[in-house]
Structure 1
Amino acid sequence: MTDTLPRSGAGSAPAPALRSDARDNRDRILEVARAAFATEGLEVPLREIARRAGVGPATLYRRFPTKESLVTAAFADQMSLCLTIVERALDDPDPWHGFRGVIEQLSELHAKDRGFTAAFMSAYPRAIDFAAGRERALLAFSELARRAKDAGMLRREFVLDDLVLILMAAGGIRSAGPAGAAVAARRFAAVTLEGLRANPDATPLPPAARLPMVPVA
Structure 2
Amino acid sequence: MTRKTRADAAHNRRHIVAVARAAFAGEGLDLPMREIARRAGLGVATVHRHFPTRADLVAVALAEHVAACRADMRAALDEPDPWRALSGTVRGFAEHRLRDRGLNEALFGSHPAAAAFAADRREQARALRQLVDRARAAGAVRPDVSVDDVRVCLAAIASFQPTRPETALHRLVDLLLTALRGA
When normalised by structure 2's length, the TM-score is 0.85
Q: Counterpart amino acid of 1:114?
A: R
In the alignment, which of 76, 86, 103 is matched to residue 73 of structure 2?
A: 86
The 5-angstrom pairing of residues 17-166 of structure 1 reads 18-120=5-107, 121-122=109-110, 124=112, 127-128=115-116, 130-166=117-153
Distance 2:122 2:26 in 1: 26
Q: Counterpart amino acid of 2:97?
A: H
Task: Quote how far apart the aligned CAs of 1:124 are.
Answer: 4.6
Partner of 1:185: 169
Task: Quote how far apart the aligned CAs of 1:16 are.
Answer: 6.6
Q: Counterpart amino acid of 2:11?
A: D
Change (3 A) 1:190 1:22: same
What runs of 5+ residues in structure 2 fail to find an aligned partner? Answer: none
On the 8 A contact 1:158/1:196 being kept in 2, the answer is yes
Distance 1:162 1:30 in 2: 36
Change (3 A) 1:100 1:47: same
What runs of 5+ residues in structure 1 fail to find an aligned partner? Answer: 1-14, 200-217
On the 8 A contact 1:47/1:57 being kept in 2, the answer is yes
Aligned to 2:52, what secondary structure does the other structure show?
Answer: coil
Task: Quote how far apart the aligned CAs of 1:17 are.
Answer: 6.0
Task: Quote how far apart the aligned CAs of 1:126 are.
Answer: 8.7
Report how many residues are paired.
181
Task: Quote how far apart the aligned CAs of 1:187 are.
Answer: 2.0
What is the CA RMSD across the aligned residues, in angstroms?
2.4
Q: Counterpart amino acid of 1:122?
A: S
Aligned to 1:75, what secondary structure does the other structure show?
Answer: helix
In the alignment, which of 192, 197, 201 is matched to residue 181 of structure 2?
A: 197
Task: For residues 132-171 of structure 1, give each alpha carbon's deviation from its aligned partner in whole angstroms, at most 9, with x where no partner exists.
Answer: 2222222122111111010011233333333443333323
Task: For residues 54-84 of structure 1, give each alpha carbon's deviation from its aligned partner in whole angstroms, at most 9, with x where no partner exists.
Answer: 1111111111111111112211122112221
When normalised by structure 1's length, the TM-score is 0.73
Larger helix proportion, structure 1 or 2? 2
What fraction of aligned residue pairs are identical, expressed as a percent?
A: 40
